[in-house]
Structure 1
Amino acid sequence: MDTQQERIAQGLAAIRTRRRAYLAILFSFFPVLVAVMAAIRRTTLWWLILLPIGQFLVGMVVQHRLHRSRCPRCQDFFFVQVVTPQAYTPASSISFPPQRRCQHCGLVLYR
């Protein structure tokens, strides 16, 4: 394996790791919130609400890092689409992380 392919493989591995962390935080938020609210109701320990608040803040940081991930092949943002006057929609500048291709060069995240 040459250095170019190794660099691309390492870059894709980093994007996959960030993506998994983001999706884990996203899909675990509601169950954590429900469990914390039930615990607060039983015990009246109001400081427990800091758990889902902290999870939300960590999720925001992970999401920000994920969306700023650069494609290891073209060095452009992996999840950000090019916005042109012809292709503009209000949500056209971002792509939700389940995208599996670079929005510029088409590099596949999972082979």
Structure 2
Amino acid sequence: MAEEAYEVMNSMVKSQENGDEYNVFGEIVACKIRKLPIDYSKSTVQHLINNILYDAELGKYNNPPQQYNFNMLYSQSLQTFNYNHPQCVPLKNIYKNSECTSSASS
């Protein structure tokens, strides 16, 4: 029995020595789950993590998300903006009776 315990402890030490960043991350996640106050939250978190891993195995995260060039989108929207549209009122008409024009004009 002592030899068995020694072998188990020895294999644990070896597995920790061979550990990588994912082993460490797994330990951190396990610690955080253990600290959750109720069993329902623990089960829910485990379920959500399993769903993410399942999606990853199916390739959902194989391609990084598309990045959009904001400047390009902004300039395109200005080009397609219709300044003659009835709802496009010049700013001087919007602020005609407001404090903005009186303080700006004085």
TM-score (norm 1): 0.23
Greater Rg over alpha carbons, structure? 2
Query: Which one has a larger percent helix, Structure 1 or Structure 2?
Result: 2
TM-score (norm 2): 0.24
